[in-house]
């Protein structure tokens, strides 16, 4: 090794040792006589001193050092002179007195500071990712990621899971996104698809008698990138045979509780994980992944709304819509401009408008309220009783702002759920040190796609209907509840899973409701349907997203900050410059001809 110990490892007890260090010049200070550098390696920094009296040659070389040069230092660990210790550095009590210095490699001036946590344009960071990875934030993220994955592997190994790799070149495995496809050279005109998840493969492993499988699996989905999406991302994919829903939920809870307690003891979690059915989550939070670090519960406001002579309420309620809202604490003095911002926010999410009622009377909320202090964009339609009624239903107190939306159910919920998160953020209601895990169960099996006028699978097509619900499959698919569940945390969906169908007939029925033709079914799902006829055991599983977990754990804005080499938001890789054109000869081999798209 070109080093005998790590820079960041040096402590008081190393004083007197002769050491060889290798690392990067983090910072250099020339004090005329003495030259100091902070030398950095993966484990941290240590101060190195070059004295012209005792090490003239090393001092001479040190004069030329620049940030990010790679050097090797031979020297002795000494105690820093009293008064010069640096309590901010773990190694701050010692320094290394250099005897010798070797430059292992020089560096151009880096495109951004490695030694300062300043914000840097993301494209530039990704273009020079190898420099960016040296910065503290990225290093911490990759270290945490390693620990999390190792914990998961050890935990699952202990309880009898086998880690098995599944192919990347496969065939379309729909999870609701577009496929990334790879042309085949040997079979011109034919393509592989990259797995959107190993869903069918893990089910086939269950048919294959594996019983407990997991994989740290890469999933590929061609969808528009968002802060928590990437064209390729990593899931802990797991599947078990001979289980019921409760078994998977308990395993998930134990895994995540253990992981948090062992690796992130400074974070708080709620134990046991709260459980909500999908229906309860939608009713109380208007979203199936509520941030449970704060309350902000929804109320059905129809009972009062229907007594208000305001056309919007009447029209919405007459056409089967809902009026629903919540109280934002302490926001009664929101200005017109702030309300307009929130209105734009909900409009962008499908609502046609936002109704706000600020309650700031001298009284004490609902029972003791006078209209003089009430502000609202529908004030002229409201009586004191109306305001009292809305305040009572939402639990609004003096100083609160009731926010409500009237409209078609699913769009109203969508906008309200997002608004709840937005208010939680604006009011900083979520404690950053809390990981509010919760389990959401009983998702509907199907959801109506009104654009295409057909049923889609809410999770995916392989979920087992809950007992007693199969009968609605023909008459009212929207009523069928599935044995499917999500793990959520701080407003993010962390994992989805389900007990699976394991019989051909039922699986075919589900494909039928989804509107697949016989040919489509046999082309896309023939293999799994066939497998179900060879003794498929009852089975189920779940797949937590590793990137998302780390993003939330480390308080990062985007999953790109916990992935070593991510793509940009627009799915480009600025480092390798992909995607990119390929050689004409490669295209020829693949029997592919590019046809220019006419503008």
CB of 546 to ligand ASP, least distance (A): 12
* Nearer residue to ligand ASP within complex by CB, 273 or 462: 462
- Distance CA(396)–CA(308), nearest Å, equals 19
Q: Give bridge partners of residue 46 from the DSSP assignment.
A: 39
Is there binding between residue 497 and ligand ASP (CB under 6 A)? yes
CB of 156 to ligand ASP, least distance (A): 14
Q: Which sign, positive or negative, has the C-alpha torsion 506, 507, 508, 513? A: positive
Please name which of 285, 267, 263 lies closest in space to residue 276, comparing C-alpha atoms.
285
* Nearer residue to ligand ASP within complex by CB, 198 or 358: 198
Rg (CA), the chain: 30
CB of 225 to ligand ASP, least distance (A): 17
Is there binding between residue 175 and ligand ASP (CB under 6 A)? yes
* Nearer residue to ligand ASP within complex by CB, 155 or 326: 155
* Nearer residue to ligand ASP within complex by CB, 334 or 485: 485
Helices 245-263 and 136-158 pack at an angle, to 10 degrees, of: 130
Q: Single out the residue of 441, 496, 507, 558 in contact with ligand ASP (rule: CB under 6 A).
A: 496
CB of 247 to ligand ASP, least distance (A): 14
Q: Output DSSP code: residue 470.
A: T
* Nearer residue to ligand ASP within complex by CB, 276 or 543: 543
* Nearer residue to ligand ASP within complex by CB, 201 or 374: 201
* Nearer residue to ligand ASP within complex by CB, 233 or 334: 233
CB of 237 to ligand ASP, least distance (A): 6
Q: What is the distance in angstroms between the CA of the first residue and the CA of the last residue of the chain?
A: 59
Binding segment for ligand ASP among 183-191, 302-310, 414-422, 492-500 (CB under 6 A)? 492-500
Task: Let me know the angle formed at the C-alpha of 227 by 225 and 230, rounded to the nearest 5 degrees.
Answer: 40
CB of 173 to ligand ASP, least distance (A): 8
Q: Which residue has the tokens 């901010």?
A: 88
In this structure, the strands spanning 94-105 and 70-79 are: antiparallel
Pinpoint the alpha helices (H) of 180-244: 199-207
Sheet holding 232-241, edge to edge: 162-163, 212-220, 232-241, 539-544, 492-499, 484-489, 437-441, 275-277
- Distance CA(390)–CA(381), nearest Å, equals 13
* Nearer residue to ligand ASP within complex by CB, 67 or 197: 197
- Distance CA(576)–CA(580), nearest Å, equals 9
Q: Single out the residue of 45, 207, 416, 542 in contact with ligand ASP (rule: CB under 6 A).
A: 542
CB of 514 to ligand ASP, least distance (A): 16
Q: Single out the residue of 231, 290, 465, 541 in contact with ligand ASP (rule: CB under 6 A).
A: 541
3-state secondary structure 98-127: EEEEEEEECCCCCCCCCCCCCCCCHHHHHH
The interface with ligand ASP within residues 178-217 (CB under 6 A) comprises 197, 199
Q: Site for ligand ASP (CB under 6 A): how many residues? A: 9
- Summarize as ranges the residues that interact with ligand ASP (CB under 6 A): 175, 197, 199, 496-498, 541-543
């Amino acid at each position: 090794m070109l080093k005998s110990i790590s820079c960041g490892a040096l402590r008081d007890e190393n004083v007197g040792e002769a050491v060889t260090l290798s690392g990067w010049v983090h910072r250099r200070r020339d004090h005329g006589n003495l030259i100091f550098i902070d030398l950095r390696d993966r484990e941290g920094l240590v101060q190195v001193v070059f004295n012209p009296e005792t090490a003239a040659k090393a001092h001479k070389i040190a004069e030329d050092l620049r940030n990010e040069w790679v050097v090797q230092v031979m020297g002795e660990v000494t105690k820093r002179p009293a008064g010069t210790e640096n309590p901010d550095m773990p190694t701050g009590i010692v320094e290394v007195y250099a005897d010798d210095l070797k430059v292992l490699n020089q560096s151009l001036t880096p495109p951004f500071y490695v030694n300062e946590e300043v914000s840097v344009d993301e494209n530039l960071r990704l273009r020079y990712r190898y420099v960016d990875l040296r910065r503290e934030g990225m290093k911490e993220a990759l270290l945490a990621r390693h620990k999390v994955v190792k914990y998961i592997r050890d935990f699952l190994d202990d309880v009898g899971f086998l880690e098995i790799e599944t192919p990347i070149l496969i065939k379309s495995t729909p999870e609701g996104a577009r496929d990334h496809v790879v042309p085949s050279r040997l079979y011109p005109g034919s393509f592989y698809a990259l797995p959107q998840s190993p869903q069918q493969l893990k089910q086939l492993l269950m048919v294959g008698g594996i019983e407990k499988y997991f994989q740290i699996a890469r999933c590929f989905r061609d969808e528009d990138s968002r802060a928590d999406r990437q064209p390729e991302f990593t899931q802990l994919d797991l599947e078990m045979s001979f289980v019921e829903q409760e078994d998977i939920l308990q395993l998930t809870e134990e895994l995540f509780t253990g992981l948090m307690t062992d690796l992130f003891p400074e974070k708080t979690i709620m134990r046991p994980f709260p459980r909500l059915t999908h229906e309860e989550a939608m009713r109380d939070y208007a979203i199936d992944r509520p941030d449970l670090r704060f309350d902000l519960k929804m109320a059905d406001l129809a009972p009062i709304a229907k007594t208000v002579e305001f056309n919007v309420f009447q029209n919405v309620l007459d056409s089967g819509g809902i009026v629903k809202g919540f109280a934002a604490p302490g926001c009664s003095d929101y200005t017109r401009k702030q309300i307009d911002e929130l209105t734009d926010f909900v409009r962008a999410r499908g609502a046609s408008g936002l109704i706000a009622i600020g309650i700031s009377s001298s009284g004490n909320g609902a029972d003791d309220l006078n209209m003089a202090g009430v502000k609202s964009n529908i004030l002229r339609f409201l009586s004191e009783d109306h305001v009292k009624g809305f305040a009572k239903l939402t639990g609004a107190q003096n100083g609160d702002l009731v926010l409500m939306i009237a409209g078609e159910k699913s769009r109203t919920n969508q906008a309200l759920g997002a608004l709840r998160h937005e208010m939680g953020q604006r009011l900083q209601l979520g404690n950053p040190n809390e990981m509010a895990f919760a389990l959401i169960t009983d998702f509907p099996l199907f959801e109506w796609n009104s654009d295409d006028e057909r049923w889609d699978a809410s999770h995916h097509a392989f979920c087992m209907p809950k007992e007693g619900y199969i009968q609605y499959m023909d008459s009212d698919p929207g009523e069928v509840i599935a044995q499917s569940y999500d793990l959520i945390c701080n407003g993010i969906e962390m994992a989805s899973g389900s007990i699976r169908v394991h019989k051909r007939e039922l699986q075919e029925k589900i494909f039928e409701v989804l509107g697949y033709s016989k040919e489509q079914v046999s082309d896309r799902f023939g293999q799994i349907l066939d497998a179900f006829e060879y003794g498929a055991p009852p089975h189920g599983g779940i797949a937590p997203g590793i990137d998302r977990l780390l993003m939330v754990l480390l308080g990062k804005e985007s999953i790109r900050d916990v992935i070593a080499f991510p793509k940009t938001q627009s799915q480009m890789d600025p480092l390798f410059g992909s995607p990119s054109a390929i050689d004409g000869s490669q295209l020829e081999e693949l029997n592919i001809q590019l046809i220019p798209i006419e503008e």
